[in-house]
Amino acid sequence: MIKGTKNNRQTRNIKKGNMKKVEKLKKGKKLPISCFIFPNLFPLSFSTYFPKFFFKKILTILLIALFLLPNQTISATESQDQNDGCAAPTGGDLLSDVTKFPMYQVFAPTMNKLTKVRLLFGGVNTPTIVLTLKDMSGNPLGQTSSVVSAGWVDFTFASAISLTPSLSYQIHLTREATANVSWNYCQPAGYGGGYAVTGGVIIPDKDYNFQTYGYNQGSPSPSASSSVIISPPGNLKAEDVANDTGGKVKLTWNKSSTSGIDGYRFYRRNDEEKDFTKVADVGAKFTDYEDTNLNNGTLYIYVVRAYKGTNESVNSNEARIRPENNLAPPTPSNLHVISKGKDNIEVAWDKVDDEKLDKYVIRFGENPIDILTEKEISKDTSFFRAENLDPGKRYYFRIASRSKDNQTSGFSDFVSDITSPQKQGISWIWILSIIVLVLALIGIYLYFANLKKWWPFKKKPLPENVRVEGKPEPPVGEEIKELPGKKAKWDR
């Protein structure tokens, strides 16, 4: 008997495997999932091609790789921190009502990182609203925007904002004249950690509907050898240096209660950095320090520690500040939209009465956070028309003042509006396309009409009494043979 080749043996095995499948199905047994996913490629069970020891080796390699990988920082889990405590809203304040501003909610966090704020809105025409988080001194700590719809809306920050749980903070919304939206509130209030401010007036028994989300993260340690034996300095404050072109801040603090310390050590970071960097050391007799070479408009966060030798106290409270140019004229007020079209929007503002004013600076664009287009406007005008805009899109505008020596004030809050939509009609392209199509159809018809002798190429029949040229005239009385059964004579 001749033994079968390897291929023959495989074929017999496949057939046996298929028979086993049939027997299993008859007995109500389950087949490996590979038999159903790839019935032609894997007629046998998956383990026929990949034995168990193969998977054990793979699993062992994966486990070893996990242990050998360097330790990774696991991001903290976001959870709800504060909320308004209201069962249901009892009213709402329109963001288009100028008498309601300043309008904000005060809250006291228990977590030191804020990632998201949720607010409850009603009566919405889907505008884009900008939320700004501020400290109790009015300094902005972070900003984000969202397209608002009725109900709870999330305002998520690009990066987590550092908070001090012992302090309070403010949730501000930017007013839009065209925004048909109200921020819901409940009164009497159900939240004990803050209050609502409407029209600049504190209302203790009122809270706007809000929720904050974040997590707790260990405070960045400026020094590896911190000591609780040394008391930290207190009441750290940061102020912009007055009457300068910016780039400087002044820090003040209360002395540590621990005697015999060597001095104070400052650490700083900006709002985009996670870790503090050492700035300077000062002697124990000082209670103020001026930090320089900073970027105007950038948010800086400071902490200070008392130190003695290699030991340091824990962090003081955080102080936040944005250096500004104080030699510029005041910021224009009452920026508002006065007209719009399908490709333009016109805004106006109240003129600035200041001898340092040389011109106005308008910034506008489609993104409220990152407005790139900038135009300089004469100080003698109080309106600006942005042209060549896209129809049906929302554009945001801000304005500032600029002096002769190029000192620029802070920019105003933005205003926005949507350009008129493009009118739907027959464009010249459609008209031209229709004309070309008609001409093409006429050309096709004329081509076939010429071949088939249709109109206008159809031959006209000759009159009966017209003699055909080139043919002899039949004799008188002769029958016309071309018409069988008919008899006729030529007319003379």
Question: Does 90 lie in the same domain as 62?
Answer: no
Question: Does 206 lie in the same domain as 103?
Answer: yes
Question: Does 150 lie in the same domain as 52?
Answer: no
SS3 330: coil
Q: Is residue 434 part of a domain?
A: no
Task: Give the other-Cβ count within 10 Å of 307's Cβ.
Answer: 23
The residue from 67, 92, 113 where one domain ends is 67
Question: Does 272 lie in the same domain as 240?
Answer: yes
pLDDT of residue 328: 82
Question: Does 249 lie in the same domain as 180?
Answer: no
Q: Is residue 452 part of a domain?
A: no
Q: What is the DSSP string of 83-96?
A: E---SS--EEEETT
Domain residues for 17? 6-67
Q: Is residue 476 part of a domain?
A: no
Question: Does 129 lie in the same domain as 256?
Answer: no
The residue from 17, 37, 67 where one domain ends is 67
Joined together, the tokens standing for residue 168 give: 């309070």
Question: Does 165 lie in the same domain as 95?
Answer: yes
Rounded to whole angstroms, the Cα distance separating 206 from 106 reads 11
Task: Give the other-Cβ count within 10 Å of 299's Cβ.
Answer: 18
Q: Is residue 481 part of a domain?
A: no
Question: Does 204 lie in the same domain as 94?
Answer: yes
Question: Does 123 lie in the same domain as 22?
Answer: no
pLDDT of residue 348: 95
Task: Give the other-Cβ count within 10 Å of 232's Cβ.
Answer: 23
Contact 384, 415 (CB under 8 A): no
The residue from 364, 393, 418 where one domain ends is 418
SS3 55: helix
pLDDT of residue 443: 84
Q: Is residue 455 part of a domain?
A: no
* CATH assignment at residue 280: 2.60.40.10
**Domain count across the chain:** 4
pLDDT of residue 199: 85
Rounded to whole angstroms, the Cα distance separating 170 from 101 reads 14
- Output the CA–CA distances (angstroms, integers) from residue 48 to 31, 34, 115, 195, in the order listed: 13, 11, 51, 70
Q: What global pTM score does this model have?
A: 0.39
Q: Is residue 472 part of a domain?
A: no
Question: Does 174 lie in the same domain as 108?
Answer: yes
Rounded to whole angstroms, the Cα distance separating 203 from 85 reads 16
Q: Is residue 254 part of a domain?
A: yes
Question: Does 201 lie in the same domain as 85?
Answer: yes
Q: Going residue by residue through the chain (492 aa), what tens digit of pLDDT does each one get?
A: 444 454 555 445 544 555 555 455 445 544 454 444 444 444 444 444 445 555 555 666 666 655 554 443 334 578 888 888 787 888 999 888 878 888 999 998 888 899 999 999 987 777 788 899 998 878 889 899 888 888 999 999 998 998 887 678 999 998 766 778 899 999 877 777 788 999 888 887 889 999 999 988 764 445 544 545 788 999 999 999 888 878 899 999 999 999 999 999 999 998 878 788 999 999 999 999 999 989 887 889 999 999 998 889 888 899 999 888 778 888 899 999 999 998 999 999 999 998 889 999 999 998 877 777 899 999 999 999 999 999 999 999 999 999 988 888 878 878 889 998 876 666 678 888 889 999 989 888 888 888 887 877 776 666 666 555 555 655 555 555 555 555 555 554
* CATH assignment at residue 105: 2.60.120
Rounded to whole angstroms, the Cα distance separating 47 from 281 reads 69
Q: Is residue 26 part of a domain?
A: yes
Question: Does 375 lie in the same domain as 249?
Answer: no
